[in-house]
Amino acid sequence: MAKANDALFDIEPLPPFSRATKAIRSALPSIRPRARVSVLDTAPRRLIKSGGQWVKWRPDVAPYMNEPMEVVTSRRFDSIAFVGPARSSKSEGLVMNPLAHAILAQPRVVAVFSPTKGAAQEWSEGALDELIKNSPDLRERLAKGKGADNVFTKKFRGGMRLTIDWPVKDKLAQRSIALVVGTDYDAFPADIGRNAEGMGEGSAFGLMRKRTEDAGSRAMTIIESSPRYPVIDETWTPSTPHEAPPVSGGIVPIYNSGSRGRLYWQCHDCHEHFEPRFERLQFPEAGSPLERGAAAYMACPHCGSVMEARHKAELNLAAKWLHEDTNGELVPLADLTREVATASYWLPGPAAALAPWSRIVSRHIEAEEEHSKTGGEGGLKSVTNTELGLPYLPRARSVSAGLTVEVLKEAATDHAWQVAPEGTAFLTAAIDVQKGKFVCQVEAWTLDLERVVIDRFDIVNPPETAPHHEGRGIRPDRYGEDWDAILPLMEKTYPSATGGYALKVLAIVCDLRGEPGVTPRARDFYRKCRLLHPNRFYLAMGKGGDRPPRAALKYPDTAHRGKEHVARDVPAIEAGTDKLKDEVAASLMQEFGGSRKLNVPKYASHEVFEEFCAERRYDDGWAKRPGVQRNEALDLSVYSLALVIVLEAEAINRENPPLWALPGPGNLMAITYTDEDGQTKTGTLTEPKPTPTEQPAKAPQWKVKRARRKW
């Protein structure tokens, strides 16, 4: 009993009563009237990390952000849209500084949206917590107690409440928020809350702006982003000075619906104003990307005066924003008479305060070199979006628009049909499995990967070893024996244009997919070829979109012992069809011969030209043009390119190529033979032509040059 009584009184004493003066002092910030100061006035009270140290924010580092920050407290506009490149301080000016203003000067409910929950958490625990921790004025305002400082919610003395959100339906419904900020807007979903039927609530910007309506004229919605959506009309030309190209979503259409502000520099010689666009940067044509970038300068479009990189800070200080008024007249925002709700801004890449011209130019040159070597546009798109702050027009899209039968036939070459051109390093064959036939296309490649279509044919008859072969067509989906019709292609040769030898096909790539039944029979045939013709037969399957690699040899994923488990021994080339079709289209439209040019001889059938033009590049990839049925030539060239990538032909040392890519009769796949007179002849192992005499001629003696394969 005594122990129970001791426990009853073993309680910590209550804290002492608080003084009334302390309680009043704590409540005063909540009833303090809002300070009539702008974001620009408040921003120097917070600190920013620079050079590893925390220093006061300065308005002269990125002075082009000053006007957009002043608009945050505007009663005229209800939103701001800022388009710009990376490293331009757009997040500091339109995310961090409005937050500091809401905490210190005008407390209200604020929501900051990041593209995903993970990004929101990373921003909160990283950038935001560091800002508060290292800015004494902000840290002093952070409320104490339970629920005041969480990852996704923070409360500050004075009544400011901040939520860190991401764009989902629940976060953008049934809420009243005075200030909504969206960072990296083009990474947001295009349609919020999309259901199984494909219906959604609409764009994030529209929903964000809706949440601020209760704040009346004090409402403000801010979005900032580098543009990510590609240009969808390759024929577009601007109808007004500042109009942006059409894209399918993101921040660019919002910019177009607003005031359309652009930054203008003033030339220090002629004093005329101009936009500091990337195309006005000049740099040497020779040297490494770094050397050329380091020498970059900008020329005034009016007088040609040279402005060097060291002048950028000075030019930015004297710069001004001009917005589009009625009839395309350019005026300061204060003089704008056109009625718009959004103050929109577009900053060109060369003006970005923290992005040196040397880096912009060198990265652009590197991306151009990558495109010229591989045809890939990923590097160009990244540089255009993040370094230049521009939407990207896929080159393949503009190329595909001009890819017509007439254009291809006009550019058709004089290469002989069914002959390996001079300089051929190797031959490839690609097979598309169609209903009732194998469609085959043979291409000759040089060491610099210029290629020529030299043959095209269909295999429609089953081999004699197939069941019931007489009186029926080939059925790749039903009879595994029908696949043996491909085997003669392994020995088929094409004479060299230089004479003296012929070349066998180095390797064959075949589509793995088709009608039901094709895939398992294709895999069985692969197993057979693996024994009869090692390393010469490959299967391939295409995947669209930007995520797949250009080409990679992969084994099926059999982790869960599903239907692919039985094929765990059969690899296939995963071909990024959209990327490779971009390359094929560019190589078809390449004006002159040379590295990676795809040549179609004038002797090819009309259908081949039609099939190369069967598709067009759209936003979400390549698709057939309306009314077009056949596209085999394009697909087969794509699979041939995927095969060449997997064979690592792009990495061949031209000075010392492997035997399988050695131009001339010393090639691993070269065939020579001599007749009775000792003369070297060329021919085909499968179908040598008989001598037209009454007596049967002696068969030619084939001399096959062989060597160990170096795959």
Helix (H, G, I), strand (E, B) or coil at 437: strand
Which pLDDT value is given to residue 651? 92
> How many Å apart are CA 151 and CA 164, to the nearest integer?
8
Mean pLDDT of the region 449-454: 97
- Which has more pLDDT, 568 or 258? 258
Which pLDDT value is given to residue 688? 34
SS3 per residue for 532-595: HCCCCEEEEEEECCCCCCCEEEECCCCCCCCHHHHHCCCCEEEEEHHHHHHHHHHHHHCCCCCC
- The structural domains of the chain, ordered by start, are 87-225 (3.40.50.300), 226-392 (no CATH), 405-661 (3.30.420.240)
What confidence tens digit (pLDDT) does each residue in 380-410 have?
999 999 999 999 988 777 787 788 999 999 9
Q: With cut-offs at 50, 70 and 90, classify the pLDDT of residue 618.
A: confident
b (16+ CB within 10 A) / e for 431-442: bbbbeebbbbbb
Mean pLDDT of the region 600-628: 91
Distances (CA, A) of 235 to 128, 231, 402, 620: 43, 10, 11, 18
pLDDT at 702 over 50: no
pLDDT at 557 over 80: no
> How many Å apart are CA 573 and CA 543, to the nearest integer?
10
Mean pLDDT of the region 565-587: 89
Please say whether the beta carbons of 535 and 563 come within 8 A: no
Which pLDDT value is given to residue 603? 95
Which pLDDT value is given to residue 708? 32
What confidence tens digit (pLDDT) does each residue in 312-358 have?
999 999 999 999 999 889 999 999 999 999 999 999 999 999 999 99
Average pLDDT, the chain: 88
| Least confident segment among 235-244, 491-500, 557-566, 697-706 | 697-706
| Least confident segment among 21-25, 277-281, 694-698 | 694-698
Which pLDDT value is given to residue 33? 67
Q: What angle do CA 365, 366, 368 make, to 5 degrees?
A: 65
Q: Which amino acid is at 676?
A: E
Mean pLDDT of the region 568-584: 93
Helix (H, G, I), strand (E, B) or coil at 492: coil
pLDDT at 114 over 50: yes
> How many Å apart are CA 633 and CA 642, to the nearest integer?
14
Mean pLDDT of the region 276-285: 95
pLDDT at 198 over 90: no
Q: What angle do CA 354, 357, 359 make, to 5 degrees?
A: 80
pLDDT at 125 over 80: yes
Mean pLDDT of the region 161-186: 93
User: 574 forms bridges with which residues in the sheet?
Assistant: 541, 552
> How many Å apart are CA 21 and CA 181, to the nearest integer?
37
Spell out where 563-705 has E strands: 572-576, 598-599, 615-618, 621-624, 670-674, 680-681, 701-704
> How many Cβ atoms from other residues are within 10 Å of residue 287's Cβ?
13
> How many Å apart are CA 93 and CA 105, to the nearest integer?
16
> How many Cβ atoms from other residues are within 10 Å of residue 67's Cβ?
21
Which pLDDT value is given to residue 563? 57
pLDDT at 687 over 90: no
Q: What share of the chain has pLDDT > 90, as a percent? A: 72
Which pLDDT value is given to residue 21? 78
> How many Cβ atoms from other residues are within 10 Å of residue 76's Cβ?
13
